[in-house]
């Protein structure tokens, strides 16, 4: 049994990840609500406090990455920056700071999303930062010390989120949370590193 910090646990993707972490001690974290630890992944201080408060942990699973949606010609720098600071730098900082605290042979699992390989309108910032996270996971794997692993999960839309995003995504087939949970399980329990785990229909 590993101690796993699950960030964004109350969100839709957090619940998908949780379904794959059944055999572990899961410490939940998020920005608000009924979680074990409150954390804001856009704040380095908040991230450091989370790791210090938890103490020993073997894995970090992040499912947070807030994105702004607009046409490229309409999107402001502020909208770009809020997406970059959450979905890209927030996740990079979880790893950058977390590698100081995580146990030997621990693992990080990050979230991207299928829109960087199957683009749709309005999702340029989500797609761009998802691509950055997939690349980050592939490349930083070579530099992580002490046997630490990293992977990103790149799912298509969840069945559970289809009512929100389905209209924006004609021709897409959603996948159930449980299937996406298996990808998180494979990342945390396997030996793979530097991989992008696609979950698509």
Ligand X SMILES: NC(=O)c1ccc[n+]([C@@H]2O[C@H](COP(=O)([O-])OP(=O)(O)OC[C@H]3O[C@@H](n4cnc5c(N)ncnc54)[C@H](OP(=O)(O)O)[C@@H]3O)[C@@H](O)[C@H]2O)c1
Nearer to ligand X, 32 or 73 (CB): 32
Nearer to ligand X, 66 or 146 (CB): 66
Token duo for residue 140: 């930083």
Cα–Cα distances in Å, from 172 out to 68, 113, 139, 162, 196?
21, 13, 29, 10, 20
Query: Least separation, in Å, of the C-beta of 74 and ligand X?
Result: 19
* C-beta atoms surrounding 173 within 10 Å: 11
**Rounded-to-integer distance, Cα 38 and Cα 173, Å:** 34
Query: Least separation, in Å, of the C-beta of 118 and ligand X?
Result: 11
Query: Least separation, in Å, of the C-beta of 104 and ligand X?
Result: 26
Q: Taking the chain, what is the end-to-end CA distance rounded to the nearest angstrom?
A: 31
Q: How many CA atoms lie within 13 A of 5 on its CB side?
A: 31
Nearer to ligand X, 3 or 42 (CB): 42
The residues of the shown chain that bind ligand X, judged by CB under 6 A, are: 8, 10-14, 30-32, 39-42, 63-67, 86-87, 111, 113, 126, 155, 157-158, 161
Nearer to ligand X, 141 or 161 (CB): 161
Query: Least separation, in Å, of the C-beta of 122 and ligand X?
Result: 13
């Amino acid at each position: 049994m590993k101690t796993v910090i699950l960030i964004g646990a109350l969100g839709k993707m957090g619940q998908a990840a949780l379904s794959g972490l059944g055999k572990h001690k899961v410490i939940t974290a998020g920005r608000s609500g009924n979680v074990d630890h409150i954390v804001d992944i856009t704040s380095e201080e908040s991230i450091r406090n989370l790791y210090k408060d938890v103490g020993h942990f073997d894995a970090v699973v992040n499912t947070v990455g807030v994105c702004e949606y607009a046409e490229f010609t309409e999107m402001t720098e502020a909208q770009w920056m809020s997406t970059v600071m959450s979905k890209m730098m927030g996740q990079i900082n979880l790893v950058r700071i977390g590698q100081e605290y995580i146990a030997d042979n621990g693992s990080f699992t990050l979230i991207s999303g299928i829109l960087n390989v199957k683009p749709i309108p309005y999702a340029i910032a989500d797609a761009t930062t998802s691509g950055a996270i997939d690349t980050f996971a592939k490349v930083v794997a070579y530099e992580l010390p002490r046997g630490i692993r990293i992977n990103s999960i790149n799912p298509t839309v969840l069945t559970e989120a289809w009512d929100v995003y389905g209209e924006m995504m004609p021709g897409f087939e959603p996948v159930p949370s449980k299937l996406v949970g298996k990808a998180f399980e494979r990342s945390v329990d396997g030996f793979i590193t530097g991989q992008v785990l696609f979950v698509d229909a």
